[in-house]
Amino acid sequence: MQKKLKILLIIMFSCYVFLTIGRFTSANEYPVTRDLKDDVLIATLSPAIYSSITGYYGKTRLFDSEKILSIEQDDPGSNVYTVQVQVTSFEGAHNPPYGLETVTLRVSFPGITVVDFKHKVVDINPIPHKG
């Protein structure tokens, strides 16, 4: 009798496991793509990039065609990073003159600071987005 009870319990437990296993999903069901991570980083850095462009030109200019050139950790194990980003700046509704801006930023607590800003005049259409 005990043996039959054990077999019955094993069968019931197995049925329970197999019937409920599909109900549980991973919290990371949709993996984060590299492009999405880049977009989040650009969105986080955008106020500092915008401020550096405004500081260089002395007036408001917008930008697009963002490209992350490099990300480096200053010291192993530290939470200080140097990020170099390249954007195309423009006046108005994507009107020339276009500028190719390379902005180097330091990301740390308590915030983001601009380390370097380089400007190059671009006489062609803006750089293709994420090119």
Query: Per residue in 8-66, pLDDT tens?
Result: 667 766 656 666 665 555 555 666 666 899 999 999 999 999 999 999 999 999 999 99
Report pLDDT for 21: 62
Residue 5 has pLDDT above 80, yes or no: no
Residue 6 CA, chain-centre distance (Å), reads 54
- pTM (predicted TM-score): 0.68
Q: Which of 65, 62, 86, 82 is nearest to 73 (CA)?
A: 82
Provide the CATH number for the domain formed by 34-122 in this structure: 3.10.450
Q: In the prediction, which pLDDT does 29 show?
A: 60
CA distances from 13 to 2, 6, 8, 72 (A): 16, 10, 9, 51
| Helix/strand/coil percentages in the chain, nearest 5 | 35, 35, 25
List of E strands, 11-94: 62-73, 81-91
Supply φ then ψ for residue 109, to 5 degrees.
-80, 125
- Cα 24 from Cα 41, distance rounded (Å): 31
**Residue carrying structure tokens 């007036």:** 59
> Smallest Cα–Cα separation from 88: which of 49, 35, 36?
49
Backbone angles phi, psi at 58, to 5 degrees: 75, 10
Token pair recorded at residue 122: 């671009």
- Sequence spans of domains, the chain: 34-122
